């Protein structure tokens, strides 16, 4: 039995379709990522799954149960879930321990306050007011409130958005420990690095639809090449090569012209780059920028939508 | 037991309250400051000496001397320009113009002026030899219960119950909603009834402190007693607190922002601050308004509180005002639960 199964999810708001027919299956023990730019429908999707938003159409099944209108059955399902919401601000004037204890009181079976503070490494802050915590500590506290119920299924909505790299890595470790203990995770993010690092599988969302699904490796492999070469030309010098000319270069799989730079997906950097430089020299064009990197999920998103993820 | 959600929610409510120094001041300090200031300003010191004047003219000094002999009057002799100004600005209550006949110039709509006219006439007639027909003796009483402070303390109690009920519930609910904390709670198995009950419980716990502070202060500073039973007083305040908590829940049931709920609160409270007889008797409003004024929950609560504290009335005879208070609470809470926005 999958941990999450949903099909045909649709959610419309007054003037926008937030989710336009989404199917997902998340296996027990899996870490599944919903990826996409802001406004892609990730939060609406996760809140429908969490039973906080009523879908206009579609079917949701969590841990073999369905949401049923707020009664005892729903509470029984909520006992088994851990939820962190994107925008929640916990009460500033309660301490860390008081906050965890409050959330703990809602569940019949749960970790002790000390256990869960240990899980998120906030023991030293147990007597501090929530308002005095750093952004990363607040986020770990939010995850602590989600973990306190010993959930089987953990929902995290952009858990690391706005955090510094160190805080982000600390949260990744928390998630890693939860998974190591057999938990299932569904998270949303717009950090590709995070998805590649944490997720067994990802679904890339855009305009309320899933546009790609697979392991990060599969998705990157679908580009047909593992490297990306980006370059930009200095103004006014020579004639820029056309996309057709670039595509004809050895080792180049795809060409994505952009407003300020052109990206080439290439199988072999050592063959494509000298060829590119030779072409530019023949044209008399001058480079203002040249960079190469391993292909990422970001490149997958760009190749699917033609837009950058961050500013899409 | 300590880990029952209702206990934890109530504790969270109370912690958030007492860790907010401003809230402490508005709930506990402010009513005391108000009671103190008003109690001092309107303390019963009697009317004192009334300031009057005699217009400078032949014979003025004789008249002024006769007037000064009355303990209730202080007379000065003034030129006509100065006299006119002082009379107009109310610094003197009455101007006596010497002559035959004597002229009393005063504003007959001012209580002080009419009093001054009676005193002045009495003093002058006696000075001219009018005999007193009967012998009299003054017996002065200052009855606790009839002073302004006795009227004020129950009113402040009622106003405080309204304010802390509406703010205490309404503000916290809307704050939890804007911070998406309400939504976060909805993502747990928490029972909604526990959430709402925690507000009522924390209100009741603070209520006793509020009442003790205000009633204790009135008693220590001004000797304002409670003539009726403390049991009746406690019951009425509990009912009042519950009723205004219900009203607070209604006011907060839909609002998404602090600004919106603050506006609604003032809309609800402002008419009652003025109309419900907190600082002065609502009998001053025209007859046509009386049914409306009496239907307000704060009016009914103030009436009941005064009946117990000043007159010592028993609960049985307070059925009508208490029914109004309870009715407001029950209807508000009923509507609030129907339309409450849980996210």
pLDDT tens, position by position, B94-118 = 999 998 888 999 998 888 889 899 9
Percent of chain B clearing pLDDT 90 (strictly above): 46
Greatest alpha-carbon pair distance for chain B in Å reads 93
Does residue B55 register a pLDDT over 50? yes
Q: How far is B8 from chain A (nearest CA, A)?
A: 5
- How, if at all, do strands A31-35 and A184-189 pair? parallel
Taking the alpha carbons at both ends of chain A, their separation in whole angstroms is 36
Residues B77 and B67: beta-carbon distance below 8 Å: no
Length of chain B measured in residues: 343
Residues of chain B contacting residue A103, judged by C-beta atoms under 8 Å apart: 188
More confident residue, A245 or A84: A84
> Which of B3, B15, B343 faces A105 most closely, judged by CB atoms?
B3
Q: Which residues pair with A206 in a beta bridge?
A: A209
Hey, are the CB atoms on A105 and B8 less than 8 Å from each other?
yes
Rounded Cα gap, residues A233 and A236, in angstroms? 9
pLDDT tens sequence across B295-343: 999 999 999 999 999 888 888 889 999 999 999 999 999 999 899 998 7
Scan residues 97-156 of B and list those with Cβ closer than 8 Å to A.
none
Rounded Cα gap, residues A184 and B12, in angstroms? 31
Rounded Cα gap, residues B101 and B128, in angstroms? 13
Of A54-58, A80-84, A189-193, B328-332, the least confident? A189-193
pLDDT tens sequence across A133-178: 999 999 999 999 999 999 999 999 999 988 888 989 999 999 999 9
> Which of B3, B7, B179 faces A88 most closely, judged by CB atoms?
B179
**Mean pLDDT of the region B192-219:** 89
pLDDT tens sequence across B112-153: 889 899 999 988 888 888 888 888 888 776 666 778 888 889
Residue A43: partners with Cβ closer than 8 Å, 6 or more residues away: A86, A157, A158, A188
Interface check B14 vs A, CB under 8 A: no
**By three-state DSSP, how is residue A290 classified?**
strand
Hey, are the CB atoms on B189 and A106 less than 8 Å from each other?
yes
What phi and psi values does residue B143 have, to the nearest 5 degrees?
-85, 120
Which of A52, A87, A102 is the best residue to mutate to test the B interface, defined by the most B CB atoms within 10 Å of its own CB?
A102
Local structure of residue A268 (DSSP, 8 states): -
pLDDT of residue A269: 85
Interface check B15 vs A, CB under 8 A: yes
Tokens of A222: 């679908």
Does residue A282 register a pLDDT over 90? no
Hey, are the CB atoms on B181 and A94 less than 8 Å from each other?
no
**By three-state DSSP, how is residue B159 classified?**
helix
pLDDT of residue B178: 93
- Report which listed range, A229-243, B23-37, B42-56, is most confident: B23-37
Give the 3-state secondary structure percentages of chain B, helix then strand then coil, rounded to 5.
65, 5, 25
Does residue A312 register a pLDDT over 50? no
Rounded Cα gap, residues A242 and B18, in angstroms? 70
Local structure of residue A65 (DSSP, 8 states): B
Rounded Cα gap, residues B232 and B314, in angstroms? 7
Residues of chain B contacting residue A88, judged by C-beta atoms under 8 Å apart: 179-181, 183-184
pTM of the model: 0.80
């Amino acid at each position: 039995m999958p941990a999450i199964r949903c099909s045909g999810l649709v959610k419309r708001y007054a003037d926008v379709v937030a989710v336009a027919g989404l199917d997902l299956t998340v296996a027990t023990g899996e870490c599944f990522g919903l990826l996409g730019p802001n406004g892609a429908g990730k939060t609406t999707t996760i809140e429908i799954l969490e039973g906080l938003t009523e879908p206009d159409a579609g079917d949701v099944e969590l841990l073999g149960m369905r949401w049923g209108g707020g009664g005892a059955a729903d509470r029984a399902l909520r006992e088994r879930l851990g939820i962190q919401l994107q925008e929640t601000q916990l009460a500033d004037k309660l301490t860390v321990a008081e906050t965890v204890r409050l959330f703990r009181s809602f569940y019949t079976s749960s970790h002790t306050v000390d256990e869960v503070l240990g899980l998120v490494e906030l023991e030293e802050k147990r007597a501090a007011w929530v308002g005095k915590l750093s952004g990363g500590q607040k986020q770990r506290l939010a995850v602590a409130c989600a973990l306190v119920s010993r959930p089987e299924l953990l929902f995290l909505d952009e858990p690391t958005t706005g955090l510094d790299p160190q805080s982000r890595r600390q949260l990744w470790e928390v998630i890693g420990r939860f998974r190591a203990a057999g938990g299932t995770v569904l998270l949303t993010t717009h950090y590709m690095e995070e998805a590649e690092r944490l997720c067994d599988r990802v679904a890339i969302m855009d305009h309320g639809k899933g546009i790609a699904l697979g392991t990060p490796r599969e998705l990157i492999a679908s580009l047909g090449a593992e490297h990306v070469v980006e370059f930009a030309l200095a103004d006014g010098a020579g004639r820029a090569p056309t996309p057709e000319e670039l595509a004809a270069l050895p080792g180049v799989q795809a060409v994505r012209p952009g407003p300020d730079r052109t990206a080439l997906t290439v199988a072999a950097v050592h063959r494509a780059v000298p060829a590119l430089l030779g072409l530019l020299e023949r044209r008399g064009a001058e480079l203002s920028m040249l960079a190469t990197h391993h292909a990422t999920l970001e490149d997958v998103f760009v190749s699917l939508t033609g837009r950058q993820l961050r500013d899409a | 037991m300590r880990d029952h959600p209702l206990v934890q929610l109530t504790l969270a409510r109370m912690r958030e309250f007492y860790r907010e120094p401003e809230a402490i001041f508005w709930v506990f300090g402010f009513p005391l400051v108000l009671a103190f200031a008003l109690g001092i300003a309107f303390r019963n010191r009697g009317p004192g000496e009334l300031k009057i004047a005699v217009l400078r003219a032949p014979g003025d000094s004789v008249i002024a001397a006769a007037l000064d002999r009355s303990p209730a009057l202080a007379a000065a002799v003034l030129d006509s320009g100065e006299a006119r100004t002082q009379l107009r600005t109310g610094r003197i209550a009455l101007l006596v113009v010497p002559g035959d006949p004597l002229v009393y110039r005063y504003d007959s709509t001012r209580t002080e002026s009419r009093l001054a006219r009676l005193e002045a006439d009495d003093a002058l007639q006696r000075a001219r030899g009018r005999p007193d027909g009967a012998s009299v003796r003054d017996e002065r009483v200052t009855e606790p219960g009839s002073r302004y402070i006795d009227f004020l303390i129950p009113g402040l109690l009622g106003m405080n119950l309204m304010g802390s009920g509406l703010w205490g519930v309404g503000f916290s609910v809307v704050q939890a909603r804007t911070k998406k904390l309400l939504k976060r709670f909805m993502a747990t198995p928490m029972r909604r009834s526990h959430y709402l009950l925690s507000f009522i419980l924390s209100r009741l716990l603070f209520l006793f402190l509020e009442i003790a502070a205000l009633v204790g202060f009135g008693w220590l500073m001004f000797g304002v007693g409670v003539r009726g039973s403390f049991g009746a007083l406690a019951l009425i305040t509990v009912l009042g607190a519950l009723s205004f908590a219900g009203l607070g829940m209604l006011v907060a049931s839909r609002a998404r922002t602090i600004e919106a709920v603050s506006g609604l609160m003032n809309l609800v409270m402002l008419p009652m601050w003025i109309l419900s007889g907190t600082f002065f008797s609502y009998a001053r409003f025209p007859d046509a308004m009386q049914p409306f004024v009496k239907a307000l929950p704060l009016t009914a609560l103030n009436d009941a509180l005064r009946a117990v504290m000043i007159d010592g009335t028993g609960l049985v005879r307070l059925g009508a005002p208490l029914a109004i208070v309870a009715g407001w609470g029950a209807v508000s809470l009923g509507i609030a639960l129907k339309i409450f926005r849980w996210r």
